[in-house]
Structure 1
């Protein structure tokens, strides 16, 4: 056998069973069931001794994952994720357009978090988990929970609308300078405030607008459906579009730019922003927010 990965445990707040601590420490084994299988195969050692799920970890231990020469190797996901904020309980990362947040696919943000974030040293540390969703073609900021408590608390903050999200989109056609859209989605109350920041004349689309969006609810495809409902679909949208006005090859012009909330544990204000993608700058000049 040869060593595949090595992990050094940082000082923990209090001892934790290896079964709980081990989730997310190896890039190639992201799940608890995978760790159990590797232990049964005799592939994980702690300070030179064969690991057990019941062993307690307190800090400073050297944990090694081996691969046997004749066994099938674990598939490794190589995915660099930009981390804009991180502490022991939560993180904020950037999701590029064209990648899933989570799901049955191998290449997802969720599957790539463990190799890009530091393992929390808190007793309830778990595999990092996205708290909300962004559509596959949407770029922008994604909030991540790193402990079971954080995942529960952050989810509650979203439900109670204590986390403010701001998006920017490029829309098609002439539109009012500002307004509120209250179109129900799947028979549920939905609300989006919008403000047009810039407009340019377009030979193909008549007008293109840089629009700031502040959703008050979080329904599936809310922004895309709301803008389409007022006759101003988002540029590059292939689900909600006007006949003859579909832009191919450039992706969806929708970006989750800012997250603002009070940190639930440190009680300090968090405000993180991510600049608009370069494709926005090719339409509008002097972009800032």
Structure 2
């Protein structure tokens, strides 16, 4: 652990503390600094502060950065489906039910636990509990995602996410019949004001855009392909519920009474495309539709016969 001390000057007053500290480490992203603050803490004048603390003149800040290998996450021998791997990235086909990284209530059995057993060289940008994680998919969402093996690759991939140039296509089964063949949902998202576990449409929320296209219609359901322009938490789930077509099996935003006994929402990260951090060549990976998804689709198709 490396410790640092800073004193706030006139021009730095009113800055958020995570922004201030990130200016002191040009090789670290703000998200990395915020992750360290959230997990290990930071003190101002000897008192613990959160990452959104606004600085005052002459504030004395104490901050520590862990070594990349000083992780609070244990490596676990867990089988994972690796679609591609080189010295910069790992592309994984995540199974339904696996949490991507450790968090309260899920400190073991995650994709990160499995990756740390598989390889030791993961980027440290997102903090000690999320090494290598550039983007996430929900626990009960299956499919493809990319993991960074070093900070250079992580920054390059994160920039593509920020610029909306990473190609992410999902397959979703929703309730009801969508009459139009395609459409776009442009509705800002933020934390629900009352039910904090939920995300909702919020007037001053973060920009969120989902493009959808109907693939197949059934008796009471529609299979759609969703292309993400942005990648907010629960984006597809909230957006489809917003237009009156929540995902089948969704425990948060779906129907209270579900027809099928499912483990979670019918959402699969089908395709992921990005420019490789080193070769600068566009690469695209596709995940086959999993058995749990095909089983329900087969039932719905047979009802049309």
TM-score normalised by the chain length of structure 2: 0.63
- Which residue does the alignment assign to 2:288? 275
Counterparts of 1:85-234 in structure 2, within 5 Å, are: 85-104=84-103, 105-117=107-119, 119=121, 129-176=132-179, 177-186=181-190, 187-201=205-219, 207-234=220-247
Aligned-residue offset at 1:283: 3.6
Count of paired positions: 209
Q: CA deviation at 1:227?
A: 0.4
More displaced stretch, 262-271 vs 276-285: 276-285
Which runs of 5 or more structure 1 residues have no equivalent in the other structure? Answer: 1-29, 36-73, 121-125, 202-206
- Deviation of the 1:173 alpha carbon: 0.4
Post-superposition Cα deviations, 1:2-59, rounded to whole Å, max 9, x if no partner, equal xxxxxxxxxxxxxxxxxxxxxxxxxxxx973379xxxxxxxxxxxxxxxxxxxxxxxx
Root mean square deviation of aligned Cα: 2.6
| Deviation (angstroms), 1:264 | 2.5
Structure whose alpha-carbon radius of gyration is higher: 1
CA distance in structure 1 between the partners assigned to 2:167 and 2:218 by the alignment: 28
Q: 1:77 to 1:264 in 2, by over 3 A?
A: closer
For 2:121 and 2:71, the matched residues in 1 are separated by 17
Select between 161-170 and 151-160 the one with higher mean Cα deviation. 151-160
- Cα pair 1:168 1:254 within 8 Å, conserved: yes
How much has 1:243 moved relative to structure 2?
A: 4.1
CA contact (8 A) 2:75 2:113 kept: no
Q: Which has the higher strand share?
A: 1
SS at match of 1:33: coil
More helix by share: 2
Which residue of structure 1 lines up, in the alignment, with residue 273 of structure 2? 260
SS in 2 for 1:167: strand
Give the direction of change, closer, same or farther, for the CA distance of 1:268–1:33 in structure 2 (3 Å limit): closer
After TM superposition, the runs of 4+ consecutive aligned structure 1 residues lying more than 6 A away are none
Measured after TM superposition, the shift of residue 199 of structure 1 is: 1.3
Q: TM-score, normalised by structure 1?
A: 0.66
Give the C-alpha shift of residue 263 in structure 1. 1.2
